[in-house]
């Protein structure tokens, strides 16, 4: 019995129990090793073609024995002799693949892609196996050898028997794992089935460049006997057939001219468990210091769990066709969390477990390119397929808005993708389209935020803006007000350089809520009338403020309210819509309140009633009017009245 050549027991225990977080990747590592062995043979055949079989004969074989509790991974690759078994498997962290790459640096052809790097993947077998047996015959050798270990006490290397030699043929390696019994911590029985092994290959090694084959049980109908009666029922029999269970060439590495959209759709639906085809497919290849292939999909519908705490963003990350991370979150910004897809790069620097990466700068470089590609595709969809873009925005517009609110990425790029409902035109507009329709002299973008478009269209401030010739964008999602306040303004590129444009100069347009107390939409004449009413009835405003107390910060006349007797506005950073949204949250009791302003319409008959009550000294009626007007304004804004019973009693008194 030989001892491992390092501080082996401690290091091997670390390898088995600490490096890998997922035990089922043992098959990925063994299949990758087998793939490397075949690639090394292919390289050797370039100088000595007689030693290697045809490319169609090279394969990786899987088999299992449920009764013996064994799994065998074999290949007809380059194989190993006694010295190589001792060096590669007896010396932990010695990578034969890495040594091969170093020795042949600069001379490997482009189709030889060695996966191994660290020389520890083989030992992942001990996460599920109590004993591992390796039979290997090196290319051109007359005999084979057997390496065996329990992963604890050391290992042995012995000449192989005739039976073992026959198992590996003229060259190759067979690794047999003797699985530990299942227990509460690990269900190893799940690996001892056709379905279990096929699923592991599909998940982790589906795109290994060589065929992974396994004898599978199938069913077929027996021939109908010549003397079968009329009521004969077909009989079936089971049979075994060697089947290739991996796809080998990944769709993202095939030429675009060779792939139809239906092929991309099938890959997307099967890989990402969606029952409809994607809205858009984006594929690209990058070369240079960091080479990679990417295949991205914009879903046509919203995942059911997109806004749940359990949702995980990320692209599938492969290295040399081997799955590294099923969802690599670093490849996508949060505001593109809905994007699905694959990135495959042989150049990313993996950590020793091949489950994470060592250099985040590589991921950042890929992520920036992915981000630009997706944003470019969305802008193209917006400009060339508006119906499709509006469907996309209905599903994922909220995610883009959160991106602006959280200041991820470029706010201007995201703002250009936003759509809002136009109160004037009755359709969805971009900010650029809104700016194009602005009348001369308008220097702000007006919006209103609330629960429904129908209700907002009746809000006095919205109607007043429309009456004065200004369009209003109606926002109905709870994130809208927060997002627009974070955005603050939008840069209008203008059309001064466009011969077909309207001659607009570039400018920054402030975003303003029409429910803001400092809104200025009135004409000069309306402003003069409001100023006269304010000067003539100061005592009335003081009395109303005294009656309402802390409910309002002030009472004033507002110009341009149309046929509304009064309206509520807000001063300061908290708008009425923000107050409404936060009042529905888990910490509603501590949510900040808007600084409310009760605005009166001096041209409305109700204002004359207020003046008359104040001049008559009827404080009781003035209190009644003040309370009713305030509660009515609350309801119009979609806010709850403080005391519904008192409101109903006041209405009854007035009747």
Residues 6+ away with beta carbon under 8 Å from 396: 302, 338
253-268 tens-digit pLDDT: 888 888 899 999 999 9
Residue 297 has pLDDT above 90, yes or no: yes
pLDDT at 184: 73
Residue 176 has pLDDT above 90, yes or no: yes
Helices 524-536 + 538-548 axis angle, to 10: 80
- What is the CATH topology of the domain spanning 419-514? Rossmann fold (3.40.50)
pLDDT at 57: 81
CB-CB neighbours of 312 under 10 Å:
9
Domain 8-217: CATH class, spelled out: alpha beta
Distances 457 to 66, 216, 321, 428, 516 between C-alpha atoms, Å: 70, 66, 55, 15, 16
* Class of residue 120 by CB neighbours under 10 A (exposed 0-12, middle 13-18, buried 19+): buried
CB 298 within 8 A of CB 279: yes
Q: Which of 36-50, 154-168, 360-374, 385-399 has the lowest mean pLDDT?
A: 36-50
Average pLDDT over residues 118-123: 68
Average pLDDT over residues 264-282: 92
Annotated domain spans of the chain:
8-217, 251-391, 419-514, 520-655
191-238 tens-digit pLDDT: 999 999 999 998 888 988 899 999 999 999 989 888 888 888 888 999
- Which CATH number fits the domain 520-655, given the four candidates 1.10.10.60, 3.90.79.10, 3.20.20.10, 1.20.120.790? 1.20.120.790
3-state secondary structure 117-129: CCCCHHHHHHHCE
Instruction: Note whether 8-217 and 419-514 share their fold.
Output: no
CB 422 within 8 A of CB 428: yes
How many Å apart are CA 626 and CA 545, to the nearest integer? 9
Alpha-carbon Rg for the chain, nearest whole angstrom, is 36
CATH, domain range 251-391? 3.30.230.80
Name the E strands within 226-334.
236-244, 280-286, 292-298, 315-319, 322-328
Report the relative pairing of strands 236-244 and 129-137 from DSSP bridges: unpaired
Percent of residues, the chain, with pLDDT higher than 70:
86
More confident residue, 95 or 324: 324
CB 150 within 8 A of CB 48: no
Residue 97 has pLDDT above 60, yes or no: no
């Amino acid at each position: 019995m030989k001892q491992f050549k390092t501080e082996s027991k401690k290091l091997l225990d670390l390898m088995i129990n600490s490096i890998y977080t997922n035990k089922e990747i043992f098959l990925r590592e063994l299949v990758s090793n087998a793939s490397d062995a075949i690639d090394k043979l292919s390289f050797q055949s370039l100088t000595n073609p007689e030693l290697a079989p045809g490319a169609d004969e090279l394969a990786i074989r899987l088999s299992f024995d449920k009764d013996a509790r064994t799994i065998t991974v074999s290949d007809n690759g380059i194989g190993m002799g006694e010295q190589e078994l001792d060096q590669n498997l007896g010396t932990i962290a010695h990578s034969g693949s890495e040594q091969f790459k170093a020795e042949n640096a600069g001379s490997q052809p482009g189709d030889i892609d060695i996966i191994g790097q660290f020389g520890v993947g083989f030992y992942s077998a001990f996460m599920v196996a109590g004993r591992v047996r390796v039979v290997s015959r090196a290319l051109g050798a007359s005999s084979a050898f057997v390496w065996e270990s329990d992963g604890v006490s050391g290992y042995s290397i012995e000449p192989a028997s005739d039976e073992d030699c026959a198992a590996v043929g003229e060259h190759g390696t067979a690794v047999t794992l003797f699985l530990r019994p299942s227990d509460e911590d690990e269900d190893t029985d799940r690996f001892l089935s056709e379905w279990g092994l096929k699923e592991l290959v599909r998940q982790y090694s589906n795109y290994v460049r060589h065929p992974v084959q396994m004898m599978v049980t199938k069913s077929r109908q027996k021939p109908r006997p010549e003397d079968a009666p009329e009521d004969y029922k077909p009989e079936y029999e089971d049979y075994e057939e060697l089947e290739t269970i991996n796809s080998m060439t990944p769709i993202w590495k095939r030429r675009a001219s060779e792939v139809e959209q239906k092929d991309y759709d099938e890959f997307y639906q099967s890989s990402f468990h969606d029952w409809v085809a994607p809205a858009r497919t984006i594929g690209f290849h990058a070369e240079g210091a960091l080479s990679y292939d990417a295949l991205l999909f914009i879903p046509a519908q919203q995942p059911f769990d997109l806004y749940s705490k359990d949702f995980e963003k990320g692209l599938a990350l492969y290295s040399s066709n081997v799955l590294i991370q099923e969802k690599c979150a670093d490849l996508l910004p949060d505001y593109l969390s809905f994007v699905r897809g694959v990135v495959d790069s042989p150049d990313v620097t993996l950590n020793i477990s091949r489950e994470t990466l060592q250099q985040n700068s590589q991921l950042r470089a890929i992520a920036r390119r992915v981000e630009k590609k997706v944003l470019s595709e969305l802008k193209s969809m917006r400009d060339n397929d508006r119906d499709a873009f509006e469907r996309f925005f209905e599903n994922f517009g909220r995610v883009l808005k959160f991106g602006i609110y959280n200041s991820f990425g470029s706010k201007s790029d995201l703002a250009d993708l936003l759509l809002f409902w136009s109160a004037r035109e009755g359709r969805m507009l971009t900010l650029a389209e809104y700016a194009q329709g602005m009348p001369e002299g308008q220097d702000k973008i007006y919006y209103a935020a609330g629960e429904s478009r129908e209700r907002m269209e009746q809000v006095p401030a919205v109607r007043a803006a429309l009456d004065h010739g200004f369009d209003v964008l109606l926002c109905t999602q709870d994130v809208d007000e927060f997002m627009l306040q974070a955005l603050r303004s939008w840069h209008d590129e203008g059309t001064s350089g466009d011969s077909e444009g309207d001659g607009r100069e570039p400018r920054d347009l402030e975003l303003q809520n029409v429910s803001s107390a400092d809104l200025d939409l009135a004409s000069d004449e309306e402003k003069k009338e409001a100023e006269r009413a304010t000067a003539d009835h100061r005592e009335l405003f003081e009395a109303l403020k005294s009656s309402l107390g802390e409910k309002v910060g002030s009472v004033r006349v507002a110009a341009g309210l149309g046929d509304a007797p009064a309206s509520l506005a807000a001063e300061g950073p908290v708008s009425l819509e923000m107050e409404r949204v936060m009042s529905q949250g888990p910490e509603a009791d501590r949510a900040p309140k808007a600084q409310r302003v009760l605005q009166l319409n001096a041209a409305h008959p109700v204002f004359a009633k207020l003046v008359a009550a104040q001049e008559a000294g009827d404080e009781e009626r003035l209190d009644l009017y003040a309370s009713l007007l305030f509660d009515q304004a609350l309801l119009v804004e979609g806010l709850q009245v403080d005391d519904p019973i008192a409101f109903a009693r006041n209405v009854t008194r007035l009747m």
